[in-house]
Amino acid sequence: MKIFITGGTGNIGQYVTLEALKRGHETVVLSRNPEKYPSLAKRTTLVKGLITEYDVLKGYIEGCDAVIHIALGWGKEPVSMLANDTAATVNLLEIAEKAGVSKFIYTSSTAAMGNVRVNGMDETCANIPTDLYGSTKSASEAYVLGFTKYYDGGAVSMKRNVIRPGYTYSNPPFPDGSSQADTRFKDIAEAVVSGKPVKVTKNDGTQFISAGEIAKLYLALLESDKNEEVYLALGNVYTTWEKIAQIAIEEYPESKSEIALNDLGWGDSPSLYGVKKMEKDFGLSFNSQEDLREHIKWNLSQANVRR
């Protein structure tokens, strides 16, 4: 299968690209700065462009069997968020259908759902986003799933599915690879290496998943016959930032750091996302704890280099 991947050099995308190559697929990866990734260029076709350059996208997507849209569009206000994310997704969706692409996977976010309102909140719950980011993701999901026909009578043949990642972390899988943009792992590691207090909020955490793990869901969905489905993509274990700080101190025993907890009154029993659907459909369930420890160790090593 020939796959066009947007955001294929980023936190999640680099692992999706590698997993696709591992499974024998051909990949074409859209990147704003492909020259920054010579290691990946040896293994795939890297092309330069933006997700809003629609004429450019048409040329690259022609002849592809599938599109995996991972790239993030951003803005500072509703109109720019709409233009850079939702409108870009809708244009990509239509370009793919008109090019004869058979499968389309859109990368949404748990932010589309809004706050966790009940324990076990899963794909059956309504989206109630609480910010512009979640709103663009929820709106894009609606277009992806609702694009079933044209109003001139033509039906849409392309299979369209959605993946909603939670907090996804990654070690760079090659020398010029990426890690997640969020700096909390980095900040904890630098505090531990420097012997400073590690400041975290009591009971704050999430169901972490590694990019290597989530890539397996992308490929399982891609290689399936699923259509118009949504999958939450998170680990099945809730891990607090306090626990991450404890592991960092444990892995760097020479540190004199102590954990400074900010108690906001959050309860000890968090409400979790339900992640049974990907297990039921694909046999995928991710504990993530081993990968999480490796990510903490990698951040400590980087902090040591910067010291």
CATH number, domain containing residue 258: 3.90.25
Same structural domain for residues 196 and 245?
Answer: yes
Same structural domain for residues 164 and 245?
Answer: no
pLDDT of residue 102: 98
Count of structural domains, the chain: 2
Cα gap 124→287, rounded to integer Å:
23
pLDDT of residue 272: 95
Query: How many other β-carbons are positioned within 10 Å of the β-carbon of residue 234?
Result: 25
pLDDT of residue 121: 96
Q: Is residue 11 part of a domain?
A: yes
Query: Measured between alpha carbons, how far is residue 205 from residues 201, 239, 243 in Å?
Result: 9, 5, 9
pLDDT of residue 70: 97
Residue 147's nearest CA partner among 135, 134, 159 is 159
Q: Is residue 26 part of a domain?
A: yes
Same structural domain for residues 9 and 123?
Answer: yes
Same structural domain for residues 218 and 91?
Answer: yes
- Residue 122 is part of which domain span? 2-168+209-233
CATH number, domain containing residue 146: 3.40.50.720
Whether this prediction's pTM lies above 0.85 is answered by: yes
Q: Is residue 251 part of a domain?
A: yes
Phi and psi (nearest 5°) for 5?
-120, 120
Query: How many other β-carbons are positioned within 10 Å of the β-carbon of residue 38?
Result: 12
Same structural domain for residues 184 and 113?
Answer: no
Mean pLDDT by 10 residues, the chain (307 residues): 96 97 97 93 94 95 98 93 96 97 98 94 97 97 97 91 97 92 96 97 97 98 98 97 97 96 92 96 95 96 86
pLDDT of residue 119: 93
Same structural domain for residues 110 and 59?
Answer: yes
pLDDT of residue 151: 87
Q: Is residue 278 part of a domain?
A: no
